[in-house]
């Protein structure tokens, strides 16, 4: 066993995901405690140049035709071998659609403990996980001697995971990758939708608190008065009340409006990570301890069903005057 921290790099179609840089940044904090190196692990086909801006002491690059695009099974096979051969102290994955598919299976396969949803490491090497929809944090020692960690955004800035000079790249041979039982057929592009919420300056966003489809009109009227558009968190889209093109969150769009008005949104981590680019967040939620209030600039616990119609009226008056 050594004290190195491995970071499994995530990218899709040639673009490195922000979470990869967040993990590199987190790994540096943890490596300071363990005294090991930060090693980025990159899998792909002719993808070595993606590593040019990784803030790492070393890059392990595995090149193979079966790694041209992400599939869970090929990544598991390769990373199981890399971990067994190198015995690092910790292996970081994104708590994402890519990372969790691999990390969880490796924990069971290699019989290595897993700590999920880690937001921060403390200077004395403890993890801090974000659980119960962001309502509680859990802290503890990282299991010894090896641990797999899935990392959520928010605890480290991606910029701190970038370097101006490329680190040394070590080529690692891939194991045999045959008889894969998971294969990518193709990508389906996102629905274009009538508006691109990632470019809209005024967003009225609705969550579970809107209660039913008939109430969406309240948000639409306010949006119309303000000249903005309505978007939503996951539960609203899953109910089919708004199209996927209006989804803000992990599987939807990240937004950066001038104002983000969150109506009845609790602020689950999957949603929060997509709205941090907003200039001003205003939250309306009757739950005074809703996590959204720790991110919002302004908040009120007024009932949205009382407040929103009145607010719409006052906006209309202000515009009319």
Partner 1 sequence: MKIVVPVKLIPDLVDELTIDATGAALDTTWLRLIINEFDDHAIEQAIILKERSGGHVTVISPNVEGVEDMLFTASAKGADKLVKLNGNFDGSVNNHALARGLLPLVQELQPDLVLVGVQAHNDMDGTLGALLAEYLHVPYVGYVSGVSVTSNQAIIRKEYPGGLVAEIEIALPAVLGIQASEQPPRYVAISKVRQMMKTVSIDEYEIPVFETHGGATVSRMYQPEVAEKATMISGDVDETANKLIDIFKEIGVL
- Asked if 138 interacts with partner 1 (CB under 8 A), we say yes
Looking at the Cβ atoms of 218 and 281, the one nearer to partner 1 is 281
- Count the residues of the shown chain that bind partner 1, applying the rule CB under 8 A: 101
Show contacts with partner 1 in window 267-296 (CB under 8 A).
268, 279-283, 287, 289, 291, 293-296
Contact yes or no for 282/259 (Cβ under 8 A): yes
Backbone angles phi, psi at 309, to 5 degrees: -60, -40
- Asked if 297 interacts with partner 1 (CB under 8 A), we say yes
Q: How many CA atoms lie within 13 A of 263 on its CB side?
A: 27
Q: What is the 3-state secondary structure (H, E, C) of 66-107?
A: HHCCCCHHHHHHHHHHHHHHHCCCEEEEECCCCHHHHHHHHH
Of the ranges 31-39, 52-60, 169-177, 300-308, which one interacts with partner 1 (CB under 8 A)?
300-308
- Asked if 307 interacts with partner 1 (CB under 8 A), we say yes
- Asked if 196 interacts with partner 1 (CB under 8 A), we say no
Q: Give the Cα separation of 46 and 281 in Å (integer).
A: 41
Pick from 1, 45, 65, 136 the residue near partner 1 by CB under 8 A.
136
Pick from 65, 191, 195, 199 the residue near partner 1 by CB under 8 A.
191
Show contacts with partner 1 in window 59-118 (CB under 8 A).
71-73, 96-98, 100-101, 103-105, 107-109, 111, 113-117
Token pair for residue 265? 């949104």
Contact yes or no for 11/52 (Cβ under 8 A): no
**Dihedral angle sign, alpha carbons of residues 248, 250, 251, 253:** positive
CB of 58 to partner 1, least distance (A): 27
CB of 125 to partner 1, least distance (A): 12
Contact yes or no for 210/264 (Cβ under 8 A): yes
Token pair for residue 252? 């939807």
Give me the 156-185 binding string for partner 1, x by CB under 8 A, dash otherwise: -------------------------xxxxx
CB of 171 to partner 1, least distance (A): 27
* Three-class DSSP category at 108: helix
- Asked if 214 interacts with partner 1 (CB under 8 A), we say no
């Amino acid at each position: 066993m050594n004290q190195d921290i491995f970071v499994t790099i995530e990218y899709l179609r040639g673009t490195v995901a922000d979470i990869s840089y967040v993990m590199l940044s987190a790994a540096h904090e943890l490596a300071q405690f363990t005294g090991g190196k930060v090693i980025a692990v990159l899998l792909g086909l002719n993808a070595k140049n993606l590593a040019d801006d990784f803030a790492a002491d070393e890059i392990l690059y595995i090149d193979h035709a079966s790694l041209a695009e992400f599939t869970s099974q090929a990544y598991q096979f390769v990373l199981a071998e890399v971990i067994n051969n190198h015995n690092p102290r910790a292996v970081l994955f994104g708590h994402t659609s890519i990372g969790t598919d691999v990390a969880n299976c490796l924990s069971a396969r290699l019989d290595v403990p897993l700590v999920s949803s880690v937001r921060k490491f403390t200077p004395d090497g403890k993890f801090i996980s974000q659980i119960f929809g962001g309502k509680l944090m859990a802290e503890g020692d990282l299991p010894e001697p090896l641990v797999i960690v899935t990392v959520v955004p928010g605890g480290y800035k991606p910029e701190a995971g970038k370097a101006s000079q490329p680190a040394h790249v070590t080529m690692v041979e891939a194991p045999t990758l045959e008889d894969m039982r998971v294969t990518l057929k193709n990508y389906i592009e996102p629905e274009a939708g009538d508006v691109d919420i990632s470019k809209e300056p005024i967003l009225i966003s609705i969550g579970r608190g809107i209660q039913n489809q008939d109430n969406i009109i309240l948000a639409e009227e306010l949006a119309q008065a303000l000249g903005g558009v309505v978007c939503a968190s996951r539960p609203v889209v899953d109910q089919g009340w708004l199209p996927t093109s209006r989804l803000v969150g992990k599987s939807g769009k990240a937004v950066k409006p001038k104002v983000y008005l969150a109506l009845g949104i609790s602020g689950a981590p999957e949603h929060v990570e997509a709205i941090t680019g907003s200039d001003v967040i205003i939250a309306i939620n009757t739950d005074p301890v809703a996590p959204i209030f720790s991110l919002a600039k302004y908040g009120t616990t007024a009932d949205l069903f009382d407040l929103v119609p009145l607010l719409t009226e006052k906006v209309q008056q202000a515009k009319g005057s």
